[in-house]
Amino acid sequence: MSRLFGTDGVRGLANRDITAELALDLAVAAARVLGEKGEFAGHRPSAVVGRDPRASGEFLAAATVAGLASAGVDVYDAGVLPTPAIAYLTADLNVDLGVMISASHNPMPDNGIKFFSRGGFKLPDATEDAIAGSLRADWQRPTGAAVGRAKTLPGGGERYVEHLLGAVPAPLDGLHVVLDAAHGAASEVGPEVFRRAGARVTVIGAEPDGLNINDGYGSTHLGHLRVMVAQVGADMGLAFDGDADRCLAVDASGQVVDGDQIMAILALDLKERGVLRGDTLVATVMSNLGMLQAMEREGVNVLQTSVGDRYVLEEMKSGDFSLGGEQSGHVIMLDHATTGDGVLTGLTLAARVASTGKSLADLAACMTRLPQFLLNVDGVDKNAVDSNETVQAAVVTVEQELAGTGRILLRKSGTEPVVRVMVEAATAQHAEDVAHRLAAVVRTELAL
């Protein structure tokens, strides 16, 4: 059986896969498992719950709060805030559990539930599996005064904004930035913190109505941002996703600056400031070969993990490293955050532009991206991609064809029912041709 939890919590179609009943049951099971592990020993347990603006988040958050309170946990309802804000508040409020209701960059009909342990870190796989195994189990529930109490958390957004302002390495005075909030969770706090950091801010995609999150705006739809940057003559543009744990950028000419380029810029910034611990950047196997080559030239070691920010974070914590992330723009700056934080990433990137006086395009030129093509193959058994002999033989054949001038990666998605086919090659056309050839083999061999 596949795990209930993916690489970023439990996610699916709201009110079909992710129901109010499931949210309540997961909340109860999480409280029970943590209690049995001794996490609540000696004190009355507490939690903070937040959500992105999706309409379904309203009933899912209510169900989560109800489940936690029924299990004897006092709950602070923080309302609409970015995922990294809930992670921060989990640590800042010193509560036992944080819960975020969001499907991040997914379309509006989807939603998800992710948990943070005390300190603001995502739960380990074993704890998530224990929660899944405890769903709907009989147990002795609290009664009377032992049931949890629920109340609204005032000022959660301001606490998060103050935290971000304390992490900005340089003022943004004189910088004109366009922000695209994806009609998501950073629609208020994103523009607020950039203005208070000194930037002139033009805002798009910041009118959430519960139905328009990620719809044509945000880090997965950069068209509006590119147009607006050119239209207002801004120095740069930044796009968050629905829950603002990601950030991608656009330079003054409208060229996209992806997560690999952002990580390269930030790695050199942190190294120059003497705070890139171990002179090491942690990335995933999806990172572009051009970024790896650039970091090698600059004396920065790159450690690569499986895809998923949780695996990047595990490597960062085990090696005591300060910077890691993914090509998607999910960047973790462990000195200031326990998870990917798109607003923090954007602030630090903008501060680098402001402090150096260089354009974002000049800074991004520290690496040259090898042409990369990515295909998603759906309608297949994604769990068989690593074991199918024909598929693996096709990969070996193409690797021999590329002969060290490119790279191939086939993997099952951790958040969607697809196999991802990624190819890097000397030319864009070659990468696309190879990707389509491999995708055809996957589609034929793994068809459901």
Enzyme catalytic residues: 104
Distance CA 249, CA 252 (A): 10
Distance CA 175, CA 198 (A): 8
236, 360 in Cβ contact below 8 A? yes
What is the 8-class DSSP label of residue 279? G
Concatenated DSSP letters for 110-167? EEEEEEEETTSPBPPHHHHHHHHHTTT-------GGGS--EEE-TTHHHHHHHHHHHH
**Residue that has been written with the tokens 């330079």 in this structure:** 251
Residues in the chain: 448
Distance CA 121, CA 338 (A): 6
* Contacts for 298-303: CB closer than 8 Å, 24+ residues apart: 298/267, 298/268, 298/271, 298/366, 299/271, 300/267, 300/268, 300/271, 300/276
71, 141 in Cβ contact below 8 A? yes
Pairing of strands 150-152, 10-13: unpaired
Burial degree of 425 (CB within 10 A; 0-12, 13-18, 19+): buried
E strand spans, 1-153: 10-13, 46-51, 74-80, 97-101, 110-117, 150-152
CA count, 13 A, side-chain hemisphere, 188? 15
